[in-house]
Amino acid sequence: MKRVRLRPLMIVAFLNETAYSMMWPLATIYLNTILHKSLTVTGTALFCFSVANVVGSVLMGKLYDRYNQFLLTITGMISCVLICLVGIWLDGWPAYPIILTIFGFTSGWLTTAINVYGTLISGQSTTQVFNKIYLVLNVGLVVGTMIISEIFQKSIAPIFIFATGIYAFSLIMLLCFFPRQRVKYPDRPVSRAKIERRQQKGPAPSLFTVSFLTLVVVWMMYSQWESNFSVYLLDMGFKLRVYSILWALNGAVIIIVQSLLTRFPKMIANLFDRVNVGLSFLAISYFITVASHQVIYIYLGMILLTIGEAIYVPSVPVIIDNWSAPQIKGRNQGLVSGFSSIGRALGPLFGGFIIDHSSFRVLFIIAGIAMLIVTILNYLNNLHYKKVQSL
């Protein structure tokens, strides 16, 4: 087998995201309500998790440019299996946050692996590949959060058991369906000569700087939904099942939006336009969510958030891939994962601090303002790059 196939990659991506989504949202609930730690302490633990995730993403991105992708991915998958096995028995304080931090490193490792393998698929455009990967990632997110609501009581051991089984199955998929030799990046419609011409008109570092900064802000604010928002709902008297329904709604909206973009690609044909539109929806969602305590506003906020996410998120790795030289594609995909993880690292810590000293409503207003700022920044920056792209 000499090429990467999309369907096995999508299955592995789904399985990895399912396991990851069982860990990340639950961490806040477990640390705060079971281990009785404040949201600031909880945010600090999640910060360590996400810093490790950043290190795993960036370090592995560089290694994927130099070494055998299969061996690196197998090593990362085995590491996830082992750390989840250990977590079955070590679930107290401070063992749990230590286990969570190591898991952060290995999950960041595998996130970069998925992105790198996505750029190695030939015969389809990078946009199509990442749209499909993004879709299954969000299905995995929905499945993971639904599993939490069904099996989590007071012990986190069943979660680690499930995660161990999922990563073990992913390991089998890798062994059976992935090429074992190093795979070269396929030729894309965007040639190196064209990239160089574009960079002479508009330096790619400027594009990368704005894109990576935006990723930090987007995921810093988005992580409030994945972490502090669950505690907020419980404090308002809602059951954990409501939180799971929100993520089920998230998955359904993503499927609808991605289906529309696939069926009518000219609806938002330009990737930079997708970034602008997606960020606009994300910004509006935070203001809508805290406009009232009624559950309808929470659902509406989630719908708007998801529309923005479904348009914006899969566009970024494609833009970065299109503007990257072949010898640094893996590194740059690692940076996409890494800067996303920086946002996720800062998010719970920032959110916990604001909530402890003010309120959740203030937190979401700040989030909405921050998103408006990066939306305007991207719009102004992208005006130039849209022209350069047509060269």
Structure tokens at 136: 């299954």
CB atoms within 10 A of CB 320: 23
Cα–Cα distance for residue pair 160/178, rounded to 1 Å: 26
34 pLDDT band (50/70/90 cuts)? confident
Give pLDDT tens digits for 210-243. 999 999 999 999 988 877 787 778 777 777 677 7
The type of residue at 288 is I
Cα–Cα distance for residue pair 336/213, rounded to 1 Å: 10
CA atoms within 13 A on the CB side of 229: 24
Give pLDDT tens digits for 284-327. 999 998 887 788 898 999 999 999 999 998 889 888 888 777 77
pLDDT value at position 193? 42
Tokens 């047509």, residue located: 390
DSSP string, 102-130: HHHHHHHHHHHHHHHHHHT--SS-HHHHH
pTM of the model: 0.74
What is the arithmetic mean of pLDDT over 3-10?
A: 87
With a CB cutoff of 8 Å and minimum separation 6, the contacts of 68 are 180, 181, 182
Tokens 């999508």, residue located: 10
Backbone angles phi, psi at 331, to 5 degrees: -60, -45
Rg value, the chain, Cα:
20
pLDDT > 90 fraction of the chain, expressed in percent and rounded: 26
What is the arithmetic mean of pLDDT over 43-66?
A: 84
pLDDT value at position 11? 93
202 pLDDT band (50/70/90 cuts)? very low
192 pLDDT band (50/70/90 cuts)? very low
Mean pLDDT over each residue of the chain, to the nearest integer: 83
Write down the CATH superfamily of domain 6-183+191-389.
MFS general substrate transporter like domains (1.20.1250.20)
Handedness of CA 58, 61, 65, 71 (dihedral sign): positive
Yes or no: say if 12 and 169 are a contact pair by the CB < 8 Å rule: no
With a CB cutoff of 8 Å and minimum separation 6, the contacts of 367 are 221, 224, 286
pLDDT value at position 388? 61
pLDDT value at position 187? 60
200 pLDDT band (50/70/90 cuts)? very low
Judged against a pLDDT cut of 60, whether residue 385 lies above it is answered with yes
- The span from the first CA to the last CA of the chain, in angstroms, equals 37
CB atoms within 10 A of CB 56: 27
Measured CA to CA in angstroms, residue 291 lies from 284, 286, 288, 316, 364 at distances of 11, 9, 5, 30, 10
